[in-house]
Structure 1
Amino acid sequence: MATRATKTTDTTWLRPTGTPGGIGESAPRPDGTLKVTGEFAYSSDMWHEDMLWGRLLRAPLAHAEIVSLDTTEALALSGVHAVLTYEDLPAPVRHYGLEIQDTPVLARDRVRHHGEPVALVAADHPEIARRAAALIRVEYRELPVVTDESSATAPGAPVLHPDREDPHAPHVPHPNILHRQPVLRGDAEAAAARADVIVRGDYEFGMQDQAFLGPESGLAVPDEDGGVDLYVATQWLHSDLRQIAPVLGLPEERVRMTLAGVGGAFGGREDLSMQIHACLLALRTGRPVKMVYDRFESFFGHVHRHPARLHYEHGATRDGRLTHVRCRIVLDGGAYASTSAAVVGNAASLALGPYAVEDVALEALALYTNNPPCGAMRGFGAVQACFAYEAQMDKVAAELGLDPVEFRRINAMEQGTVMPTGQRVDSPAPVAELLRRVKARPLPPAEPWRSEGADGPDIRLLPGGLSNTTHGEGVVRGVGYAVGIKNVGFSEGFDDYSTARVRLEVLGGEPVATVHTAMAEVGQGGVTVHTQIARTELGVQRVALRPADTAIGSAGSTSASRQTYVTGGAVREACVQVRAEVLARGRRRFGDRHPAWSGPGLGLDGGKVVTAEGEVLAAVADILGEEAVEQEVEWRHRPTRPFDRHSGQGDGHVQYSFAAHRAVVDVDTELGLVRVVELACAQDVGKAMNPQAVVGQIQGGTVQGLGMALMEEILVDPATAQVRNPSFTDYLIPTILDTPELPVDVLELADPHAPYGLRGAGEAPTLSATPAVLAAVRAATGLALTRTPVRPEHLTGSG
C-alpha cells in the first residue's frame, strides 16, 4: 500500500556520510561508461527473433480531403503481413492527446498537416515495409491552408476542428484559437500616462526542433493474455499508457510499458509517436513489431517549439523605473493541441521576465493552423517571451541613456516580489546578483586569432571558422546581456506527483538499497541523483536501480525541470521511511542494551546505526537479518491553482528558477558571419545535487539557446504549409566547432520549500542564452534584429 506524503519529511539529524557518491558530490553516471563506449542499448537497438517492421505512410499535403484510399497493391507485396487504415482501428476511441484528445491515430477523412499518418504497414523487413507504404494509393483533394493569425481568424477561414470539445473552447473568440490567457494587474493605461519614455517592439521567433539524436523507436510484443508489452523511448510512461490503452480497446493493466534507452528528448517525446502504431500492428499480426523512424520521418513524427509573434510596450521613468508593460503573444500551435494550452499559460504568466512591474496588461494565445504540431520544448513558452522582453529592456535602457545591466538591476525582482499573476515569490530570487556576476567576469581577449601563432591568423577563431572566408577584415566585437525566469514543475492546479519504492535488504552481508520509479531517464541524470539520495539518506554504498516501467505508479514527465524535485522528493521520502523503520526495529531489538536507542539523533552511516557523536550501536545487517524493509510513497509538492481565465491571477507555479548570460561575439559585418566567443552563465540552482551534472545541464541549455539565436529553424512554406528542411543537412544545429567557451557560475541559495533546497536547473539557461547572443550581435552591428534566428542576410542588408 502506497503512503501519500505531501511534503518533505525533514531529517532531524543526518551524520555527514563517509560513503562516497552522496548528495553534493559529482558522482559518476551509472550509464556513463556504456554510453561513451557505444555499448548502451537504445530503443532503436532492440531486437526480437521473429519480429516484423512497422512503417507509416504520411500525407504529402498540409490540408486535404482524403477522397479514396486503396491498399490492394501494398497487401499483395510479398513479405507484407498487415496494412491498417482508420477503418481497421479496433476500438471506438480513435483519437489521443496529452491534454485534449484531438489527434487521430490515423487520418480518416482529411489531413491537417504535412506528414500526418494515413496508413500503417507491417512487413518482414524495413525495406519491404517502406516499399509497401509507397504502394498505398491515396487520392487527395487539396483544401485552403491556415498558416497564421490572419488566415486562421479571417471571415470564411476553414475551421480545423469544428467539433472540438475541450475546456478552453468557451474562453476563445474564434474556433481556430486553441487557448487564450490574459493577465491583468493594476492599471496599465494610467501608468502609461506617468511614463517618461514608452518603447514598443514587434518580434518574431522561429520554429525550433528538439533535434534529439535518438530517433523515435520502440518494440511492441503481443502477450498470451491478449495484451501487449511495449519497450519504448519516451518521457512519460504513464501518460503514454493512458492514451494507448483506450485506442487498443484494452484495460491499462494489459498494456505493460518499460522504458528503453532514450537518446535525448527536450520535450519532443512527451507526445506519442510510434507507440500506438507498433501496438496495433503487434496485436493484429500476433508478432513482435519494431518501429524506428529515420531522420527525415523524425522531423514529422514529433512536435516542435511554437513559433511566435510578440508585441511589447514598456514604459519607464527617467530614473529607470518601469511603469508598465503591455504585450501580446501569439503562438502557432499547429494542427493539434498537444500542450499548447499549458505553453500559453507559461508564456502569459512569465511574459514580463524577472522584473518588478505593478501595472500589466497582456494576453497570450495559441492558434490551430495547418503548420506542423507544436508542443513541449525546453523552456516551454518562457523562451519566446524572454527573447522579446530582453530585447525591450535593451531598447528602453538605450532610450534612457542607461547601462543595460544597471537598468535591469534597478528593476530586478527579489524574494517577496509579487508576480503579475499576484503570486508572491517566496524563495531567493537573486536576479541582480546573477547579472552582477556575469558582468564582473573578465572579458576574453580581443582578436584572439592574431595571438595564436606567427604564421598568420588562426582561422578557427574567426567568424566562418574553417570555411576560411575572412582573415579579420570587417570583424566587429559585441557584448550582450540577458536574464530569464522559468517556472519549475507542472502548474495551474495540475496534480503533480511522483511515486517511488525503496527497499533495503542485506545481500552478501552488506546492506543494499533498491530504488524503483517510473522516471524516464532521457539524459538529464536522474538515475545518478536517485542513487545519491539513497546513499545519503540510508548511509549505504550499494544502490541498485530497477528499470522504469508501469509496474509502479507514475513519476510524471521528465520535463518542466521537475524530476529531481518531485521524483527525487519521492525517493527521499521513501528512504526516510525505510530508515525510520530500520531504527524502529533496532530499538525493539537492542534498545535495552544502550540508552542512546531510546533517544533521538540516530542515523545510518556506512551500513551501521550511529549516534550523533559517532558511536556505533549496531550493524544494519544484524537488525535486518534475512528480512527486508520496503516503503512506497506517492509524493506531492505544495499545491498550485489555475489562473483565472479573465484576469490571469492565481498562484499558478511551484517554484521559479533564474539564469543570466553574457555573450561575447565577433561579427563579420561584410559577410554576415557570427562567431560566439564566450557565453558565460550565472545561475542559482538552490542545491547542486551533483555539481558536475548541474554544470553540464547549464552548458547544454546554453548551447541550445545559441542554436536558436543563429541557426536553428524549421522552415515551413507559407503558401502550402509544407516543411522545407526535414533533415540535419538543412536544419542546422551547433557542433563542437560552433561551441564557445562556456564558463558557469553556480549559486546555491536554498529554496526552503524544496527537497534539499534544490531548484530545477535544466531549462532556465535556454531562455537567456538566445537574447544574450542577439544583444551582442546588435551591439556589434547596430541593427535592430527583431527576429530569431539571425541569418547572414539579416546582417548584410541582403534579405
Structure 2
Amino acid sequence: MTGSTTRAAPLESTVSGVVGDSPQRPDGTLKVKGEFAYSSDMWHDEMLWGATLRSPHPHARIRAIDTGPALAVSGVYAVLTHEDVPVNIYGLEHPDQPVLAENVVRYQGEPVAIVAADHPETARRAAARVRVDYEVLDPVTDAEAAMRPDAPVLHPTHPDGNVVRHVRIRHGEEDPAADVVVRGEYTVGMQDQAFLGPESGMAVPAEDGGVDLFIATQWLHADQRQVAHALNLPEEKVRLHLAGVGGAFGAREDLSMQIHACLLALRTGKPVKIVYGREESFFGHVHRHPAVLRYEHGATREGDLVYVKAEIILDGGAYASTTSAVTGNAATLGAGPYRIPNVRIDCYGVYTNNPPCGAMRGFGAVQACFAYESQLDKLAETLGMHPVDVRIRNALTEGSVMPTGQIVDSAAPVAELLALVRNRPMPAVPTGPRDLRELPGGVSNTTHGEGVVRGVGYGVGIKNVGFSEGFDDYSTARVRMAVIGGEPVVSVHTAAAEVGQGLVTLQAQIARTELGVQRVVIQPSDTSVGSAGSSSASRQSYVTGGAVKAACEEVREAVLQLAATRFGVAAVGLAGGKVVSDSQEVLADLVEVLGADTVERTVEWRHRPTHPVDPLTGQGFAHVQYAFAAHRAVVDVDVELGLVRVVELACAQDVGRAMNPDAVVGQIQGGSAQGLGLAVMEEIQVVDGVVRNPSFTDYLIPTVLDMPPMPIDVLERADPHAPYGLRGVGEPPTLSSTPAIVAAIRAATGIALTRVPVRPEHIVG
C-alpha cells in the first residue's frame, strides 16, 4: 500500500546519566514544546475515519439493527455489526465481552455498530443513523443486590452467578477476644483515570492479509492476543506498534477501539483512524471499582491489634476486565501494613450493569487503604492514643508475617515513614488578613476565613509490586552494541509501553551503567520483540529494567570475550567506552574492539515466582514485592460552607533505590494528586446505570491550584531480590494520600466521614 504513516522514531539519549542520576528525558522537550507525536496525530494517505454507535441503555435486549440509513450516507465505506466480527468475544483476563453487542447490551455506552467514512463528522453522522430496536430491561446496579440468589444473572455462562471472584483470607484464630472493638462501614466512589489523551489509534491493512495497528496502549502483546483472536488471524499477522501515549493509569490495559479499527481497515482495504472525544472516552474505558467495605478491628487496651474482620464488595460493572486481580489485591492487602495475628477477610468482585471497572493506579489496595486507615484513626480515638502511635505500635517490619502467611523478606520501614511525616515542621498558621488564594474556595470569594478550621491527618499504605498469584510475569529486552559514525552505540529494544512514567530514560540509564557507552538509542516499542508485559502494577522498572540489565550483562560478556580473543589479554570490564584488563590498564577503545562486528543479545527475564493463594484460606506467596508510603495532610475546612483546601501534603516513601531521583519525586507527586482527587472531588456519578458527568466540566480533577506544597522524604532501603535493589514507586502514594486528607477533614470538623470523595454536604448537611 502506498502512503506514509506518522509513527514513533527512535529516541536517542546523548546526555550523560547512569543509574542514580536524573538525566533529561529524551521525549521531554518535544512534549513541552507540543511537538511530540501522540496517537491522535497519526496520518496516512487515503485514510478513513471510524466512529462507534453506543447503547444509550445500561441494560437492554437488541431486537433488530438496521444499518441501511447509515450506508446511504455519502462518504461511508462500511457499517459493521456483531455479524461482521469473526470471533465476537474478548477480554483481558476472562473472555466475556463482545466486540460489538450481540442480543443484549449490559452497560450504557456499550459498542453496537462501527462506521468507516472519509471524514470524521461523516462517520459520526452515519453512526447516529444506525437504527437499533431495543427492549429496555431493568438494570442491576447495586453490587450487593447482584450477589443475591434471586438476582438476574448478567452472564449466564459464569459459574458463580454475578460474583466474578470471592477471595477468602483466613489467618489465625477464628473468633479471638479483644478489649476494644471498633467497627465501620466505608464507601469509595467510582474514580476515572482522567488521562489527558483520549483513546486513539490507526489500523493499516497489510499485503499479507494481516494488519498493522498503531495504538496508544499499556500492553502491546495482550492487545495483540485479543485482536488476533477476534479477527481469527494468527498473531504474527497482527503487528502492533506503540504510538505516543497521553497517560494511562490502568485505563489502557483493556481494549477500546483496537479491534474496531482493524475490522474496518480489513473490510475497506484502507487505513482507518479512530479518535475518541472526551465524552466518548468516559464510556470507552474502565474505571476504578467503587466499593463498600465493612471492617471490625479488635485490640488490647495498650493498643496492640488482635484481629481484623472485613467484608469488601467491589462493583466490577458489566464485564470482568481485571476484577479478579483487583479482588485479589484488595483481599490480600486488606489488613494494611500492620502485624495482626488473626485475620478474616471476604472480598467479592461483582458483575452489575454499571460501567465496566478494571485497573487504576492502586488496583484494589486504594479502596482497602481508605477503610483500614479510617479504622486505625477510630481505634486511636477510642484508646486515647495519637493516631501515629497506634500505627507505629503495630507496624510491619522485615520478617513480619502477612495475613496470607507470606513473610515480608525485604525492608518494611513503616514505622520510620510514619515518624518522618509526623516530625516534619507544620506549615505556619496564617495571621491577619488572608489571601483569597489560600482559603477554601479560592478566588471565588466565598470564604473570608471566619469559619475556617485547620486539621491534621495521617495515612500509610501497603501495595504489591508486579503481577501476583502465579502470573508468569516477565519482560524481554534486545540489546545491541555496534560502531556507528566512529563511536560505539547501544540500541535497546523492548515492547514496554512508555506511558509518561519515564521508562525510556531509565532504559538508557541502565545501558550506560552496564556498558559504559554514552550514546544509547531506545527503539520504538512493538510486537517484533518479545512481550514486556503491562505498564502497570509499578512493575516496568523492576521487570523491564531487569531484562535490560540482564541483556546488557550478556552483551558486556560477549564484548569482553571478543577483546580477550583479539588482544590475547584477559579483559574484565568496560569503563567509559574502554576495555580494561585485570590490572585496570586500558586495552583498547570499544571502537577498535568491535570493528565491523555487532554484538546483540535478547533476554527474557523473570522475577522470582509467586503462587496462587489457597481458595479456602487465602494463604500463599502471592506477591513478589511490597512497597510502602505514608502521608501527613494539613487541611483548612470552612465548616460553614463545607469547602476544603489541602494546605500541605507531606510524604515519605521507601523506593529501594532511587534509579532516577527526579522521576521518583514526580511519581510520588502524581500519585498523591490522584489520591487527593479521590479524597475531595473525583467521582463518576452513576444513577441507575447512567453516567451523569462524562466531561471534565462536571468530573473534577485536581489542578495546579488544588495541589499543595509536598515535602517529600525518599528512603532507599534496598530490596535484595530486585535489580539494583529498586522498589516500585508509582502506586503507593495514591493509597495513603486519600485517608490522610480525610482524616485531616475529620480532625477539623469532628464529623465521622466514611465516604470518598468528601462533598460539601457531608460536612454541613
Q: State if a TM-score over 0.5 links the two structures.
A: yes
- 8 A contact 1:188–1:324 mirrored in 2: no
Question: C-alpha separation between the residues in 2 aligned to 1:247 and 1:474?
Answer: 59
Question: C-alpha separation between the residues in 1 aligned to 2:667 and 2:174?
Answer: 38
Q: Which amino acid counterpart does residue 482 of structure 2 have in structure 1?
A: E
**Deviation of residue 157 (structure 1)?**
2.0
Name the counterpart of 1:534. Answer: 511
Name the counterpart of 1:522. Answer: 499
**1:287 aligns with one of 263, 267, 270:** 270
- 8 A contact 2:474–2:532 mirrored in 1: yes
**Deviation of residue 155 (structure 1)?**
4.8
**Local SS of the residue matching 2:744:** helix
Name the counterpart of 1:668. Answer: 638
Q: Which amino acid counterpart does residue 710 of structure 1 have in structure 2?
A: V
Q: Which amino acid counterpart does residue 337 of structure 2 have in structure 1?
A: P
- 8 A contact 1:188–1:326 mirrored in 2: no
Name the counterpart of 1:331. Answer: 314
Give a deviation string over 1:441-491, Cα, whole Å, max 9, x none.
00001127x4xxxxx421000000111111101100000000000000000
**2:674 aligns with one of 686, 704, 707:** 704
Question: C-alpha separation between the residues in 2 aligned to 1:131 and 1:406?
Answer: 62
Name the counterpart of 1:25. Answer: 21
Write out aligned runs for 1:356-435 (5 A): 356-435=339-418
**Structure 2: where are the runs of 5+ without partners?**
1-13
After superposition, the Cα gap between the structure-2 partners of 1:159 and 1:604, relative to the gap in structure 1 and judged at 3 Å, is same
Question: C-alpha separation between the residues in 1 aligned to 2:121 and 2:467?
Answer: 42
Name the counterpart of 1:156. Answer: 150
Give a deviation string over 1:404-426, Cα, whole Å, max 9, x none.
10110000000000000000000
Name the counterpart of 1:203. Answer: 186
Question: C-alpha separation between the residues in 2 aligned to 1:32 and 1:443?
Answer: 34
**Deviation of residue 188 (structure 1)?**
3.8
**Deviation of residue 609 (structure 1)?**
1.2
**Deviation of residue 149 (structure 1)?**
3.1
Q: Is the counterpart of residue 721 in structure 1 residue 689 in structure 2? A: yes
**2:738 aligns with one of 770, 782, 788:** 770
Give a deviation string over 1:82-127, Cα, whole Å, max 9, x none.
00001122x2x21000110000000010100000000010001010
**Local SS of the residue matching 1:523:** coil
Name the counterpart of 2:710. Answer: 742
**1:176 aligns with one of 162, 166, 172:** 162
Question: C-alpha separation between the residues in 1 aligned to 2:645 and 2:502?
Answer: 30
**Structure 1: where are the runs of 5+ without partners?**
1-17, 451-455
- 8 A contact 1:19–1:606 mirrored in 2: no
Q: Which amino acid counterpart does residue 731 of structure 1 have in structure 2?
A: Y
Question: C-alpha separation between the residues in 2 aligned to 1:150 and 1:420?
Answer: 25
**Deviation of residue 611 (structure 1)?**
4.8
**Deviation of residue 148 (structure 1)?**
1.5
Question: C-alpha separation between the residues in 1 aligned to 2:434 and 2:245?
Answer: 42
Name the counterpart of 2:77. Answer: 81
- 8 A contact 2:189–2:683 mirrored in 1: yes
**Deviation of residue 313 (structure 1)?**
0.4
Question: C-alpha separation between the residues in 2 aligned to 1:691 and 1:615?
Answer: 33
Q: Is the counterpart of residue 485 in structure 1 residue 473 in structure 2? A: no
**1:221 aligns with one of 173, 196, 204:** 204
**2:172 aligns with one of 186, 207, 228:** 186
Q: Which amino acid counterpart does residue 280 of structure 1 have in structure 2?
A: L
Q: Which amino acid counterpart does residue 51 of structure 2 have in structure 1?
A: R
**Deviation of residue 742 (structure 1)?**
1.1
**Local SS of the residue matching 2:691:** coil
Larger deviation, residues 689-698 vs 144-153? 144-153
Q: Which amino acid counterpart does residue 176 of structure 1 have in structure 2?
A: N
Write out aligned runs for 1:121-140 (5 A): 121-140=115-134
Question: C-alpha separation between the residues in 1 aligned to 2:267 and 2:459?
Answer: 54
Q: Which amino acid counterpart does residue 105 of structure 1 have in structure 2?
A: V
**Deviation of residue 154 (structure 1)?**
3.7
Name the counterpart of 2:575. Answer: 605
- 8 A contact 2:254–2:321 mirrored in 1: yes
- 8 A contact 2:144–2:313 mirrored in 1: no
**Deviation of residue 723 (structure 1)?**
0.6
Question: C-alpha separation between the residues in 2 aligned to 1:611 and 1:695?
Answer: 39
Name the counterpart of 1:10. Answer: none
**Deviation of residue 151 (structure 1)?**
2.7
Q: Which amino acid counterpart does residue 230 of structure 2 have in structure 1?
A: V
Question: C-alpha separation between the residues in 1 aligned to 2:148 and 2:472?
Answer: 38
- TM (norm. structure 1) is 0.93
Q: Which amino acid counterpart does residue 45 of structure 2 have in structure 1?
A: E
Question: C-alpha separation between the residues in 2 aligned to 1:19 and 1:270?
Answer: 32
**Deviation of residue 588 (structure 1)?**
1.1
Q: Is the counterpart of residue 309 in structure 1 residue 285 in structure 2? A: no
Write out aligned runs for 1:539-578 (5 A): 539-578=516-555
Name the counterpart of 1:8. Answer: none
Q: Which amino acid counterpart does residue 423 of structure 1 have in structure 2?
A: Q
**1:471 aligns with one of 431, 436, 448:** 448
Deviation beyond 6 Å, 4+ runs, structure 1: none
Question: C-alpha separation between the residues in 2 aligned to 1:716 and 1:792?
Answer: 19
Question: C-alpha separation between the residues in 2 aligned to 1:462 and 1:156?
Answer: 51
Question: C-alpha separation between the residues in 1 aligned to 2:256 and 2:168?
Answer: 32
**Deviation of residue 591 (structure 1)?**
2.5
Question: C-alpha separation between the residues in 2 aligned to 1:111 and 1:32?
Answer: 42
The two structures, once aligned, show a CA RMSD in angstroms of 1.1
Question: C-alpha separation between the residues in 1 aligned to 2:366 and 2:251?
Answer: 16
Give a deviation string over 1:555-596, Cα, whole Å, max 9, x none.
00000000000000000000000001111111111134xxxx
**Local SS of the residue matching 1:737:** coil
Question: C-alpha separation between the residues in 2 aligned to 1:439 and 1:285?
Answer: 63
Q: Is the counterpart of residue 56 in structure 1 residue 56 in structure 2? A: no
**Deviation of residue 613 (structure 1)?**
6.4
Q: Which amino acid counterpart does residue 131 of structure 1 have in structure 2?
A: R
Q: Is the counterpart of residue 732 in structure 1 residue 694 in structure 2? A: no
**Deviation of residue 68 (structure 1)?**
1.4
Give a deviation string over 1:22-63, Cα, whole Å, max 9, x none.
000011111000000000000000011210000000000000
**Local SS of the residue matching 1:653:** coil
